[in-house]
Structure 1
Amino acid sequence: MTAPTGAIRAGDGPRRFVAPLRGQVDAACFRHPVFDGYGDHLDLMTAARWPDIDALNAWMPATGPRFVVQDATLLADGLHYEARIAQGRIATRAENWHDLFNAMVWVRYPVLKHALNRQQCRHLERMGSRERSPAQQALAQFDESGVVVQVRDTTLLDLWDRHDWTALFHANAGRWNDGGITVAAVVGHALMEQVLVPGRLLVGKCLVVLGDPVDAIARVVASISTGTSLVMPTELRPLPLAGIPGWHAEQGAAFYAQKDYFRPLREGRVYPRPL
């Protein structure tokens, strides 16, 4: 079955996603659950004018890296993007949705972003900048499309591991509201950018925290920092976000039967234990 009319799966086709102009974006899209946790920054997304670098830096801690305009002068230093962050400068393109959302994640989850950057820099020192190791690919995928999911009911994790999407989302819809399984945080700025175009069917790349920790993000940060997580891209569990109850307008049985979006488990695919 094909996707509903107007629905586009993120990643379909070879074309690179092009975000709409600021004036073309319906502010209603920022009510999407992807933006839960970023309500304090609503003005950065909805104001008529783009926030400038000073406005972004006003949200950052007094110490640590600062956003700097990415221009020819900055790029002339020849540094890798991640190496430049380690020196305290986050290259940020002007009037750019992708970089604005990246800035918002830095503001909301700076410890997580620091952990990702430190690991990237360690691999850069070993690999150089011409090739990416599997760990660098995993780190980049989580940075772009990452979601932290907290699971308290292990039977739901079993359904997810088997890609039994109808049971996970439809039959157990109530468990997404009673705490059995919860999206603790969306940290992938590319996912946010995709929401600007209504109807896109997003897929998160997830790290799973089991149980009821005080701070799921802290557990993820600790695992990344020790090199326990994000060593291989296959560690990341795909989650079709439009399947989560309330995250998409069409969620009947036919919707969950779309195998081009709710994909069956690939033979031999095994996911790691949750954190």
Structure 2
Amino acid sequence: MTCAPAADDAGAGRRRFLAPPRDQVDRRCFEQRIFSGFAGYAELLQGADWPDIAALNAHLAVQGKHFVVQDDALLGDGLHYEQRVAQGRIATRAQNWHDLFNALVWARYPAIKCALNAQQCLHIAAMGTAQRNRAQAALTQFDESGVIVRVRDPALLSAWDRHDWMTLFDPRSWQQGDIAVCAVIGHALLEQALLPGRLLVGKCIVVLGEGAAACVARVAAAIGEGRVLAEPSELRPLPLAGIPGWHAPQDAAFYQLRDYFRPLREGRTYPSVLSPGS
């Protein structure tokens, strides 16, 4: 097992994850729970051949956006990636898992992606392209590694605040719906899951007490209004392999892996979650 928190582009010292070639991916990996929200895209993920840009645009309709080949001609326009997206052009590298998963998230959760892009463009307009602020780092971390979690039992938030992982991952809480993953947003997480057994960590925004669709809509609104993701520290880490049914084995010894289920760092606190009235 490899402990592999999803990387963000601020992680300058990290070795970049190299996804396996398409013909070397075991198609059974897509049975993992992390891919459950993308079951409708099996043809694009599991077909023998890479989908080209025309296929992406045909299968993944995103209002006001289209996928374009990222080549030297495109990059020569002098624009930032996010500025092109704002113009409706999502630059996409050919035969690239990372960009394919990005395209799938655009199709599945367009309101989230549009909100992230709008906020990035506001910061680029204020900062220029040579500098990045803390909010841009937070937006990027959520884009790459983000997970939206819905919680109904406030006691679970208290356990999460303390990094009391055994309480947070009590199977009864997940089976009863007291806590649930509503959406996996991070396309870097999806890319890394091509190699089953990696111990991935999601960076979470949490909503209190709503269904999945309402939860995603509330997060999109909060991002678009600039009420969340001002700082990377707002994001709650969630060791995804600890979720009941997301990894095997999940015995008591597994939950004692301190390099993965990390204790709370002194002074670390988390912000309030989004609630129906917020």
Letter in 1 for 2:195: V
Aligned to 2:10: none
Instruction: Map 1:101-250 to 2 at 5 A.
Output: 101-169=101-169, 172-213=170-211, 215-250=214-249
Is the CA contact (8 Å cut-off) linking 1:10 and 1:194 kept in structure 2? no
Task: Indicate the SS of the match to 1:272.
Answer: coil
Q: CA deviation at 1:11?
A: 5.5
Is the CA contact (8 Å cut-off) linking 2:98 and 2:191 kept in structure 1? yes
1:173-218: CA deviation from partner (whole Å, max 9, x where unpaired): 1111111000001010000000111211000000000012561011
Give the direction of change, closer, same or farther, for the CA distance of 1:60–1:23 in structure 2 (3 Å limit): closer
Task: Check if 1:10 corresponds to 2:9.
Answer: no
Cα RMSD (Å): 1.4
1:105-164: CA deviation from partner (whole Å, max 9, x where unpaired): 000011110000000000000011111111100000000000000000010111011100
> How far apart, CA to CA, are the structure 1 residues paired with 2:61 and 2:259?
43
Instruction: Map 1:72-83 to 2 at 5 A.
Output: 72-83=72-83
Is the CA contact (8 Å cut-off) linking 1:34 and 1:192 kept in structure 2? yes
Is the CA contact (8 Å cut-off) linking 2:3 and 2:259 kept in structure 1? no
> How far apart, CA to CA, are the structure 2 residues paired with 1:8 and 1:264?
15
Instruction: Map 1:12-51 to 2 at 5 A.
Output: 14-51=14-51
Q: CA deviation at 1:14?
A: 3.1
> How far apart, CA to CA, are the structure 2 residues paired with 1:257 and 1:203?
16
1:46-65: CA deviation from partner (whole Å, max 9, x where unpaired): 00000011111113447411
Letter in 2 for 1:191: L
Give the direction of change, closer, same or farther, for the CA distance of 1:195–1:63 in structure 2 (3 Å limit): closer
Q: CA deviation at 1:168?
A: 1.3
Q: CA deviation at 1:8?
A: 3.6
> How far apart, CA to CA, are the structure 2 residues paired with 1:190 and 1:216?
22
> How far apart, CA to CA, are the structure 1 residues paired with 2:119 and 2:62?
23
Aligned to 2:262: 263
> How far apart, CA to CA, are the structure 1 residues paired with 2:150 and 2:65?
29
Instruction: Map 1:64-75 to 2 at 5 A.
Output: 64-75=64-75
> How far apart, CA to CA, are the structure 2 residues paired with 1:130 and 1:263?
34
Task: Indicate the SS of the match to 2:226.
Answer: coil
Letter in 2 for 1:234: S
Is the CA contact (8 Å cut-off) linking 1:166 and 1:257 kept in structure 2? no
Q: What residue ranges of structure 1 are gaps of 5+ in the alignment?
A: 1-5
Identical columns (%): 61
Letter in 1 for 2:47: A
Is the CA contact (8 Å cut-off) linking 1:60 and 1:107 kept in structure 2? yes
Aligned to 1:3: none
Is the CA contact (8 Å cut-off) linking 1:38 and 1:104 kept in structure 2? yes
Q: What residue ranges of structure 2 are gaps of 5+ in the alignment?
A: 8-12
Task: Indicate the SS of the match to 1:215.
Answer: helix
Give the direction of change, closer, same or farther, for the CA distance of 1:110–1:154 in structure 2 (3 Å limit): same
1:24-53: CA deviation from partner (whole Å, max 9, x where unpaired): 000011111111111110111100000011
Q: CA deviation at 1:250?
A: 1.5
Q: CA deviation at 1:88?
A: 1.0
> How far apart, CA to CA, are the structure 2 residues paired with 1:37 and 1:84?
27
Letter in 2 for 1:261: Y
